[in-house]
Amino acid sequence: MQKHDALRLVLTDTLDEDGVPMQQFLPQVPVAVEMRDFSQAENPETAALAWMQARFITPFDLQGKPLFRYGLIKVTAEHYYFSLQYHHLIVDGFAIALINQSLAAIYTDLLHNKAIYLDSPIPKLCEI
């Protein structure tokens, strides 16, 4: 979360002079990973995909809450999905690619029992 400051962006109850909600970068954001186990379902793959699809059409709470959701979905003992969902207010395609690259690097290090070093935040576009 510290590396990708967009994930710490929330909308506040405060409105600007035009009545538009103000935004704020929180120092820290709690990360909740919703865990679901569909391994015992009649068709685990179909059940997992249906759950993910339903979740993607569920609106975000825009009042001071994180604008992302993560889910870990068990399909079989050896087959999991990691679901990532971001509101378009905080990320675009390029940002999603950067976040996924960071997550993939962490996952690879964990697979190889390597220590995880979280880099400094990526530069903001205004700093490039």
What digits encode the pLDDT tens for the residues 43-94?
999 999 999 999 999 999 998 899 999 999 999 999 999 999 999 999 999 8
Query: What residues have CB less than 8 Å from 9, skipping those under 6 apart?
Result: 23, 24, 25, 26, 67, 89, 90
How sure is the predictor about 121, in pLDDT bands with cuts at 50, 70 and 90? low
Q: C-alpha distances in angstroms, 59 versus 55, 76, 92, 97?
A: 8, 29, 18, 22
User: Would you state the pLDDT for residue 63?
Assistant: 87
Q: Tell me how far apart the alpha carbons of residues 98 and 122 are, in angstroms, rounded to a whole number.
A: 9
User: Would you state the pLDDT for residue 2?
Assistant: 62
Q: At residue 118, does pLDDT exceed 80?
A: no
pLDDT, average across residues 90-113: 89
Q: At residue 109, does pLDDT exceed 70?
A: yes
User: Would you state the pLDDT for residue 21?
Assistant: 85
For domain 5-127, give the CATH superfamily: Chloramphenicol acetyltransferase-like domain (3.30.559.10)
Q: Spell out the domain ranges in the chain.
A: 5-127
How sure is the predictor about 128, in pLDDT bands with cuts at 50, 70 and 90? very low
What digits encode the pLDDT tens for the residues 5-48?
888 889 888 888 998 888 998 888 888 999 999 999 999 999 99
SS3 76: strand
More confident residue, 3 or 109: 109
